[in-house]
Structure 1
Amino acid sequence: MKPDYFNDKLENKASIIQPNEGEKLELSTIAITFKVTSEMSNDQLGVYEITLPPMAIGAKLHYHRFMDETFIVNQGELTMQVGKEEYKAKPGTVAYVPRFTPHGFKNDTDKTVKLTLIFNPSQKREGFFKGLHETLNEVPINPEKYLKLYNKYDSFPVDTSNMIPIRK
């Protein structure tokens, strides 16, 4: 059969992920649900639902070299640090954080925060979250192991002496 160079081949490869669907990880302080994975998107996009209970830290100040990150606040008030500035992000807030932009996020309130986190490209981010699940559930947390995981998945703490996402 001769290849057709002139017509598009249409295929249905869509994924519809309903509320409460997706693989869910419970970390020591947060919950992550995989909505669109690296495998689904050919490593182009990762969409994750994050639940931060009261006073939980999602991530301390860090940056990425090869991916951009977008935050969409769905419920509660998210505290975001971008560079040296801190912002209160209410529901409906969209924060686009391009690569090489130091950022961190946490819940400073007594109410749960829910947000959608988007990575582009996704850089197999599910491996990072699964590694976090393992690392943050160890007692004590091993900082060298944590940093190795961070670096493998394109995350670089601004201050390695203050990188573990736990309140002191």
Structure 2
Amino acid sequence: MTPDYFNDQLEDNATILQPNEGETFSMNGLSLTFKVTSELSNDELGVYKIKLAPMAIGAKLHYHRFMDETFIVDKGTLTIQVADKEYTAKAGTIAYVPRFTPHGFKNDTNEEVELTLLFNPSQKREGFFRGLHETLGEVPINPEKYLKLYNKYDSFPVDTSNMIPVRT
């Protein structure tokens, strides 16, 4: 068959995920649901729904070398740290954090926060979240194992002496 260089070949490859669909697990005051995975998007995009319990920390100050991260606050008020500034992000706020930008996020309120987190490209982020679930479930949390996981999945803490997402 001769290739057609002039017409697009259309495909039906969409995936529709309903609100309660996707793999979900909880850890350390955070509930996470995989929506668009690295496998589904050919590693181009990762979309995850997160629920942060009151006073929970999502991540301490860190950066990525090869991916950008976007936060969309769906419910509640999220505190987003970017470099040495903190921002109060209410429902409807979108925060785009390009690579090499130090950032962290937490819930400083007494209400649950819901957000959508996007990574592009996704860098197989599901492996990071599964490893995080395992690491944060250990008592005590092993900082060396935590750092190894972080670095494997393109996450670099700004301060390795203050990288574990727990309030002290």
- Alpha-carbon distance in 2 for matches of 1:71, 1:116: 6
Deviations 1:39-58 (A, max 9, x none): 11100000000100000000
Deviations 1:76-129 (A, max 9, x none): 100010010001000000000000000000000000000000000000000000
Find out whether 1:18 has 2:18 as its counterpart. yes
Q: Secondary structure of the residue that 1:54 maps to in structure 2?
A: coil
Contact 2:28 2:56 survives alignment (8 Å): no
The residue aligned with 1:122 is: 122
Map residues 36-75 of structure 1 onto 2, 5 A cutoff.
36-75=36-75
Instruction: Please give the TM-score of this superposition, normalised by the length of structure 2.
Output: 0.98
Matched to 2:9, the amino acid is K
- Alpha-carbon distance in 2 for matches of 1:2, 1:12: 22
The residue aligned with 1:79 is: 79
The residue aligned with 2:28 is: 28
Instruction: Please give the TM-score of this superposition, normalised by the length of structure 1.
Output: 0.98
User: Does 23-32 or 143-152 show the bigger shift?
Assistant: 23-32
- Alpha-carbon distance in 1 for matches of 2:88, 2:3: 55
- Deviation, 1:8, is 1.1
- Alpha-carbon distance in 1 for matches of 2:151, 2:63: 10
- Alpha-carbon distance in 2 for matches of 1:104, 1:26: 19
Find out whether 1:100 has 2:110 as its counterpart. no
- Please, what is the CA RMSD of the aligned residues? 0.6
Deviations 1:113-167 (A, max 9, x none): 0000000000000000000000000111000000000000000000000000001
Matched positions, count = 168
- Deviation, 1:63, is 0.3
Deviations 1:5-31 (A, max 9, x none): 222111010011110111101112201
Contact 2:70 2:96 survives alignment (8 Å): yes
In structure 2, stretches of 5+ residues that fail to align are none
User: Does 4-13 or 32-41 show the bigger shift?
Assistant: 4-13
**How many percent identity over aligned positions?**
77
The residue aligned with 1:111 is: 111
Matched to 2:43, the amino acid is D
Runs of 4+ in 1 over 3 A off after TM superposition: none
- Alpha-carbon distance in 2 for matches of 1:147, 1:156: 8
Matched to 1:65, the amino acid is R
Matched to 1:15, the amino acid is T
The residue aligned with 1:142 is: 142
